[in-house]
Structures are given as C-alpha cells and as structure tokens.
Amino acid sequence: MFGYRVPAPDEAMLISGGRRGQGGAPFRVVTGHGKFVLPVFRKVRFLTLAMCEAEVSEKCVTKQGIALTVKAVIAFKVGNDNESIVNAGQRFLSDQDQMSILTGRIFAGHLRAIIGSMTVEEIVTERQKLATEVLETSKSEMAKIGLIVDSLQIQSIDDGATGYIDAMSAPHKAAIQRQAQIAQAQATQQSVEAQQEAARNQAEYARQTAIVQAQYNAEVDRAQAQAAQAGPLAQAHAQQEVLAAQTELAERAAQLRQQELVAEVVKPAQAEAERIRVLAMAEAERMKIQAEAAASHDRVALDRMLIDQLPQIVKEASAGLAGANVNVLNGADGLGEIAAGLVGQGLTILDSVRRNLSGADGASSSPAPGAQLQRYLGTAKTRPEDGGSDDDGPVNIR
C-alpha cells in the first residue's frame, strides 16, 4: 500500500521526521510490524539486525617477548533493544559495512592487550580462556556502539620462524611418538599374538581334522573288514547251524533207537519177568490154595467123621455109665444136666481133635482122621479130670 512500510524480520525500520523517538533519538524505531509513513514528510531507512562476521589477523607479542600471529573470527550483530538499535543506527546507518571493520579493530586491540599478559604456553593450551577474556574486555565498548558479540573463535596461532611452538611441542611430540611407537609395538605384538593364535587354531583344527579323518578311515576299514568277513562268518554260522542240526538229529536218532531197544528188548524182558513172577505167584497161590483146600478137606472130613461118630461117642459114654450108680438129686432137671454134660463132653472132644489137627497140618506124618478120633475117644474114656476110670463107681450129679 502506498505510504505503508513494513521492515523485514531481521531489520529495524528507522523513521525520521516528525516527532522524535524514544529517549530523544532523532528517529523512531519500528521492528516486527508495519507503519504508515507519510511521503515527503517522513523518511524511512532500514538497519540490519542479521548476524555479521569480522576477521582479525593480528601480530601480538607475548609476555615472554615472542611475536605471535593470531587469527580470529568474531560473530556479532546489532542488539534487539531500542537503545542498541538507536546507537548502531546513529553510527552505521549510512555505511553498515563499517560495523565489521570497526569490530575487527576493537577486537584486535583487546587481543594484543590480553596476549601481552600471557605466555605462549597459556595461549596455546588455553585458547578458550583467551577468547573469554577478549569478549569480557570488549563487551562494554561493543555495547556503546549498539553491537553484541555472539562468539569469538581463535583460528590459529603462529610464531613464524622462531620455532618456539615447535620446540615447546617437541617433548610432547616425543612423548606422543614414544606412545605411538609403544602403541605400534603393542599393536604389532597383538598382531603377532593374533597370528600365532590363528596358527595354533589352524594347527588344532588340522589336528582335529586329522583325528576325525583317521577315525573315519578306521571306521571305513573296520566296515570293509566286517564286510569281507561277513561271507566266511555267514558260511561258518551256516555250517555251525548244520552241525548243530545234525547233532540234534543224531541225538534224536539215538533217543529213538534207545526207545526202540526199550520197546524191543527191555519191555519184552520186563513183561516176561512179570509174566514169570505172576505165574510163580499164581502157582504159589494155587499151591497155597490147594494146601488150604487139602487142610480144609481134612477138617471137613474130620468134622463129618466126628459128627458121624457123635452118636457112638455118646453111646460109649452112656455105656460107661451103664454100670454106675447114678443118683439124680433134682429129678428131671438132673437128667437134663446129665444129658447136657454128655453132649458137652462130646463137643469138647470134637474141639480138641480139631485143634490138634490144625496144629499138625504142616506135618507130613499126621495120622489119619479116623485114627486121631479113635485116640481121642480112648483118651476121653480114661481122663481122670472127666471123671472116667476103669472102675465103675457111683457118680453123683447135682
């Protein structure tokens, strides 16, 4: 729009004409926004607020009297406050390039002053300390002209042909070289050790490989030997099985022959012996039975004879009593007792005869049953214990 002016973000718009600015400044400061400016009646100028750079290359003399060439770079700008803008605008608005030139000169002077109070060793080893002291000493002067310094960097320090810095650095170089050599030696030693370890590992691997290969070859040879022996072993096993089968067959044949011999010889002999034993037992049993039968026959014949002779025995007994005086004291009962006594006497005779016959069965000279009976009958007549006697006497029967 015609008459409306807006400064850039890194610029300050200075409007002159009309009323004065803040603090009695001959212009008003506008930053960050636009302003309507009357043409012809107002004049507008712009002051940069961007970062500027100044380089310094100054030959300085140290506290030890050694000349050094110091190169530095200063980064500065116009302050953002109205006072700094007013101060910078009044000094550099018409020629803003003068800010870098003036800043370099200011810092060159302070740099010479500070380096003159320090030794070369301090300057070389404490560059940050040098930069800080230069900034502190120049801050007030830079503020008066509306500038602020953001940073100061010492780029290089050169002693020319004196060689002081080289001499100063020689022990360090020697130490560094020594350390480098030590490091190199250590690295070489480690390399050698690594190579030796690698060689040992390779040798160990080769040894293990050889062992494994030998084991593998041994297994292959063993397998081949087993394969080569498999045929003869199989044949030997087959022959052994044939021999075993033949042996078993021979044993079975021997057992069969033994069974045949037992069936053909032993069993018939045992059967014949058993038959003879049975025949002998049967013969002995027959003879025993015959003997028992003969003895039984004699007893039966004797019993029959006794039974047949019993009436005669009674008769003889009664005849023996015929001339005797018999007194019957109890009548009919007494007669019954006499008769019973006669019968009992006959039976007693019969039992005696039987016993004598039984005891004399085994004798070969046993008398005939009839003769024995006659003997017993004669004895019965004459035995005193039976009351018989040659003299007839009275017999009392109670």
Q: Which residues pair with 76 in a beta bridge?
A: 52, 149
- The alpha carbon of 98 is separated from its chain's Cα centroid by a whole number of angstroms, namely 91
Same domain, 8 and 151: yes
Q: Cα-flanking dihedrals φ and ψ of residue 308, to 5°?
A: -70, -35
Among 134, 169, 204, the domain-final residue is 169
**Tokens representing residue 252 in the block:** 């079975």
pLDDT of 384 reads 43
Amino acid at position 333, single letter: D
Question: How confident is the prediction along the chain (398 residues), in pLDDT tens digits per residue?
Answer: 457 888 888 888 888 877 766 666 778 888 878 777 777 777 888 889 899 999 989 888 888 888 889 999 999 999 888 888 888 888 888 888 889 999 999 999 889 999 988 888 888 888 888 888 888 888 888 888 889 998 888 888 888 778 888 888 788 788 888 888 898 898 899 899 999 999 999 999 999 999 999 998 999 988 888 888 877 877 888 888 888 989 989 898 888 888 888 788 777 877 778 778 878 887 887 788 777 777 766 666 656 666 666 666 656 655 554 554 445 445 555 545 555 665 566 566 656 656 665 554 544 444 444 455 455 445 444 444 444 444 444 444 33
Let me know if residue 195 belongs to a domain.
no
Amino acid at position 192, single letter: V
Amino acid at position 210, single letter: A
Among 119, 148, 169, the domain-final residue is 169
Q: d(Cα 360, Cα 364) in Å, to the nearest integer?
A: 8
Q: For residues 68 and 59, is the Cβ–Cβ distance under 8 A?
A: yes
Among 154, 169, 184, the domain-final residue is 169
Q: Which residues pair with 61 in a beta bridge?
A: 67
**Helix extents (H) in 116-163:** 120-125, 127-144
- Cβ count near 373 (within 10 Å): 21
Let me know if residue 70 belongs to a domain.
yes
Same domain, 149 and 8: yes
Let me know if residue 255 belongs to a domain.
no
Let me know if residue 157 belongs to a domain.
yes
pLDDT of 195 reads 92
pLDDT of 382 reads 44
**Tokens representing residue 199 in the block:** 């060689």
Q: d(Cα 360, Cα 298) in Å, to the nearest integer?
A: 11
Let me know if residue 264 belongs to a domain.
no
Domain count of the chain? 2
Q: Cα-flanking dihedrals φ and ψ of residue 136, to 5°?
A: -65, -40
Q: Which residues pair with 72 in a beta bridge?
A: 56, 154
Show the domain range for 102.
Answer: 4-169
The DSSP element (H or E) to which 151 belongs, if any, is: strand 147-158
Q: d(Cα 42, Cα 5) in Å, to the nearest integer?
A: 11
Q: d(Cα 293, Cα 117) in Å, to the nearest integer?
A: 177
Same domain, 8 and 156: yes
Let me know if residue 121 belongs to a domain.
yes
**Helix extents (H) in the chain:** 82-92, 98-115, 120-125, 127-144, 164-261, 267-320, 331-359, 369-382
Q: d(Cα 376, Cα 312) in Å, to the nearest integer?
A: 13
**Tokens representing residue 195 in the block:** 């190579």
pLDDT of 214 reads 92
Let me know if residue 202 belongs to a domain.
no
Q: Cα-flanking dihedrals φ and ψ of residue 72, to 5°?
A: -140, 160
Same domain, 154 and 16: yes
CATH of the domain at 108: 3.30.479.30
pLDDT of 2 reads 58
Same domain, 11 and 156: yes
Let me know if residue 45 belongs to a domain.
yes
